[in-house]
Chains A and B, each alone.
Chain A
Amino acid sequence: MITILDQIRKRLKAPGWASWQTFISLSVFSVIVAGITNSPIQIIIANLGWLFLVIGIWWFTYDPIVKKKLTFNGLFIGPWIVGAIMCLWLFGSWNGAPTPASFISWPPVSALIWSTRRFIKGDPDKKTPTYTVPKPDDRQDIVLMLLSNLIISCWFQLHFLLQDWLIAYPTIRSDDFSRSAFVVELYPENTSNTGGITLLNAAEQSLKTRLEGKPWADVERWLSPEQLNQEIPRLAADAQKQMPRSSENNLWDLRGRVLPDSQYTLELQAIWQGPSARTEGYYITKACQISQGRKLGPPATVDPGSSAPSPRLGTVKCEAPSQPRPIPPQTQT
């Protein structure tokens, strides 16, 4: 550790003005100046700071000792370091965090940096670099390097496309990706099916506002088969309105039915019609007990005091949502 520090100090001290240390110091100096100035000048100085940093690092990586250390299997990775800093500068956000654009542009920018040396020829007479057309072998190398780096940037792009999809359709995140030929899930946890559960909870809320505390005769009429067929779509529309806006909302279908032989157990079904590992699709249910207020008589019901004298009121009590179940053929109408 100390030897490394010593080395750094030695290297920082050594050379004259025309060196990479000068540019790094200029960059640090620019950061300090940018810190104490205000908006328009600050932007210019900050950009100058980035420019100095890029030049300094570029110079640094071509220092013979550093270059040797950065070469693996004959491939010198310096250009990708310079490219990373350049893309952070050009496409990063203000706090320096990388954005998708900086990831995607990183490989091709680095390949371009890599190829610059092949366009430059040292002039033996004047000792100044001049532009040159690369030799055919170099041209082949440049083409291959550019194309392969473009493929890598396409992979980055694919990654960000997948992330966009997962954000647009959060429900597929809870499904099983193990059969995919494209993606690997690093932490395959049992993530709960958020979309369906949100919809069912929203439906429960709307159901409660409709039935809770209403005269029992009205509740029974609401639950009669003909009426229910009209009421469920309205309930679904209400529940959809409460969902957070997302493009997958119209892929959730809400249905409901009164279970046979029950004194009103309403089963709400959230049916997923989007992409899924299960070919037939699946649904999540939530069973709601609808009964007369007095008979049920739990102490924690909604209105303890005010409407107590009136005995025949509807109460709604719902269970937690079920696990996803595959759709049996006959339910799918």
Chain B
Amino acid sequence: MASFDVLPLRAILFQLLFLVTAIALESMVLRNRLEIGRKTSIQFAATTNLLSTVIGWMLFFIAEPLLSDEWRSQLISYIFFDLTTNPPLLIGLAFVSFIATFLVKLEGITWLELLLSIKKDAETEARATAKFQGKHGRRAAFADVPNRPLAVLWANAISFSAITLLIGVRLLFDQALGNS
């Protein structure tokens, strides 16, 4: 029978916070760099972030049973007691997940375009903006396709930095509370 004594509520709250932050920031970056509409940019950012989160969780649940006792013990220390016994591993994992989320997001946007048959819309939108703001629009018109990986990379970098910052703020708060 399931027991509901120890709940991962903090993990859920942090995840929601990180998702909202990432979607907000990334949609802004994508809108500026890809010259797409507000709605499309939010669609891209939301879908890709949710997708990479789901894939990340799946990988975690696939990998967890394969861990050795020693590593599982470290994972438990990290999750229950916030003890980072192996900082290099953590940094390495963050780096790998940065690359992985970048690739997932880049592919995800392509899949989403296929699924929504959005290609035409984005182009017309870009042309529409070109009419209003000539300079930006012209640049977008022929820099649209090659620009995209760079734009997604920027978006990913900015959202990861923001999340890192949030984690840092939390650690600072924790230490301040712990010392007092």
Contact = CB atoms under 8 A, between A and B. Distances in A.
Interface residues of B: mostly helix, strand, loop or mixed?
helix
Give the interface centre of A143, A158, A182, A251 by most chain B CB atoms within 10 Å. Answer: A182
Given A177-B81, A275-B73, A144 B11 contact: no
A227 interface: no
Contacts of B174: 179
Interface in A165-224: 165-166, 169, 172-173, 175-177, 179-187
A151 B50 contact: yes
A181 B82 contact: yes
A222 B34 CA distance: 81
A211 B117 CA distance: 83
A184 to B, nearest CB: 4
B64 A161 contact: yes
A113 interface: no
Contact of B9 (A139, A160, A165, A183): A183
B97 to A, nearest CB: 15
Contacts of A143: 47, 112, 115
Give the interface centre of A97, A160, A180 by most chain B CB atoms within 10 Å. Answer: A180
B141 interface: no
Interface stretch (B51-59, B129-137, B149-157): B51-59
Interface in B54-82: 54, 57-58, 61, 64, 69, 73-74, 76-77, 79-82
Interface string A136-171: 100110011001101100110111111101100100
A175 B8 contact: no
B7 A274 contact: no
Contacts of B4: 186
Interface residues of B, number: 43
Contacts of B81: 175-177, 179-180, 275-277
Nearest to A145: B50
A100 interface: yes
Interface string A8-21: 00000000000000
Nearest to B79: A182
Given A151-B54, A154-B54, A182 B10 contact: yes
Contacts of A99: 2
Give the interface centre of A100, A143, A148, A173 by most chain B CB atoms within 10 Å. Answer: A143
B162 interface: no
Nearest to B11: A182
Contact of B7 (A161, A183, A279): A183
A99 B1 CA distance: 7
B3 interface: yes
A58 interface: no
A324 interface: no
A160 B6 contact: no
Contact of A160 (B2, B10, B53, B58): B2
B43 interface: yes
Contacts of A159: 7-8
B171 to A, nearest CB: 9
B47 A187 contact: no
B10 A184 contact: yes
A182 B53 contact: no
B8 A158 contact: yes
B117 A186 contact: no
B12 interface: yes
Interface in A53-79: none
Contacts of A181: 10-11, 14, 82, 170
Interface of B: 1-12, 14-15, 43, 46-47, 50-51, 53-54, 57-58, 61, 64, 69, 73-74, 76-77, 79-83, 112, 115-118, 170, 174, 178
11 contacts: A100-B2, A136-B116, A136-B117, A143-B112, A158-B8, A163-B2, A163-B3, A179-B174, A181-B14, A182-B10, A275-B83
Given A143-B115, A155-B15, A274-B76, 11 more contacts: A151-B53, A154-B61, A158-B57, A175-B80, A179-B178, A180-B10, A180-B79, A181-B14, A183-B80, A275-B80, A279-B83
